[in-house]
Amino acid sequence: MDVNARFKLISEVGEEIIQPAELKELLKAKKKFIAYDGFEPSGTMHIAQGILRAINVNKMTKAGAKFKMLVADWHGWANNKMGGDLEKIQKVGKYFIEVWKACGMDLKNVEFIWVSDLVNDTEYWKKVMQVARNSTVKRVIRCGQIMGRKEGEVMQASQILYPCMQAADIFHLRACICQLGMDQRKVNVLAREIGPKLGYWKPIVVSHHMLMGLGQPASDSKDSVDRAIDFKMSKSKPDSAIFMTDTKEDIKRKINKAYCPQGQVQENPILEYCKYIIFEKYKTLKIKRPAKFGGDLVFKSYAELEKEFSSGNLHPMDLKNAVAEKINELIEPVRKHFETNTQAKKLKEEVDSFTVTR
């Protein structure tokens, strides 16, 4: 692919890019580059962490990325995930990797790196200290959103370390691109600001869209970051998200009760599933309807579907039935993996037995 095609592909991932001109220069200079994301292992994996993450990673690798996926077990420990039990956090990290094996992530171009290995390197801690020495406590606390904490929420002392570690991760992994969610924006901007001061570089930030939960969005203060934090908390509200090992019955029940007012396009989680998952994987969507209600419909783009739904000509239940069917198809290989692979099955049973702690 030429530079413009690679740029277009990465732009499909980035709801926001800081900065597009820098990205173009990087692609002109390098056919291969390092991009990174980190995941904090906690509980079972939902569809945004699974299928949507695989879609975005695959676009990045197709555009030339060597993707370094950081298993942020020590970050999760600092953030008191899984009740602060590091061994449980690490079990969940292994479970996440098993999910990605089964849901189509381009693992040939993905390297999983454990923070528990990085912390044995004194050079890593030097970078963490460099970040800390060049940041104020106030600025670090403002980055609390990266941990799923709302600004002003009381933090433990260990959580002060978290943003410093995450900024240091970028430079230690030699990442040209930070490819994380919109909720991670503040720490990525911090890294851009202090990188040159420390003798490093300004990482390019490609922030992907944060998928809505399935429930009705609250009417107050729902910017994209607040919504992302709420979605991260969805593990305590199982019906607010599809999880990667949900049964066919679970998926149908959750989709059927999901918020989807007729004709409403904005803040509609079912349409978000269509736009960011179904049309990315299938390119088309068939809606099955009895002849007396107009017969079947086939949409070849999300734009066509949105137009028809906004007109009021497509009933939400018809759309939901089609979405449930397609989401189940995407989840099925993951379910089978955990049913037929003995090691994966045992791992899932262990993770299922853990109490999820925010």
* Residue 71 dihedral angles phi and psi, to the nearest 5°: -85, 100
Enumerate residues 6+ apart whose C-beta is below 8 A from 123.
172
In the predicted model, what is the mean pLDDT of residues 224-229?
56
Check whether 255 has a pLDDT greater than 50.
yes
In the predicted model, what is the mean pLDDT of residues 28-53?
94
Cα torsion for 336, 340, 344, 349, to the nearest 10°?
90
pTM assigned to the model? 0.91
Enumerate residues 6+ apart whose C-beta is below 8 A from 63.
1, 6, 7, 9, 10, 27
Query: Residue 319's closest CA among 276, 277, 238, 256?
Result: 256
Q: Which pLDDT value is given to residue 229? A: 53
Q: Which pLDDT value is given to residue 292? A: 87
Domains parsed from the chain with CATH numbers:
3-208 (3.40.50.620), 238-353 (1.10.240.10)
Check whether 35 has a pLDDT greater than 50.
yes
- Count Cα neighbours of 277 within 13 Å in the Cβ-side half-sphere: 29
Q: Model confidence over 264-317: pLDDT tens digits?
A: 999 999 999 999 999 999 999 999 999 988 899 999 999 999 999 999 999 999
Enumerate residues 6+ apart whose C-beta is below 8 A from 47.
211, 241, 242, 243, 244, 273, 277, 327, 331
- Give start and end residues of each alpha helix (H) in 40-104: 53-62, 73-78, 86-102
C-alpha span between 174 and 180 (Å, rounded): 15
Quickly state the pLDDT bin for 76 (edges 50, 70, 90).
Answer: very high
Q: Model confidence over 148-193: pLDDT tens digits?
A: 666 666 568 888 899 999 999 999 999 999 999 999 999 999 999 9
Q: Which of residues 251 and 142 earns the better pLDDT score?
A: 251
Check whether 59 has a pLDDT greater than 80.
yes
Q: DSSP state, 48?
A: I
Structure-block tokens of residue 350: 């262990």
Q: Model confidence over 199-214: pLDDT tens digits?
A: 999 999 999 999 999 9
Q: How many CB atoms lie within 10 A of CB 163?
A: 27
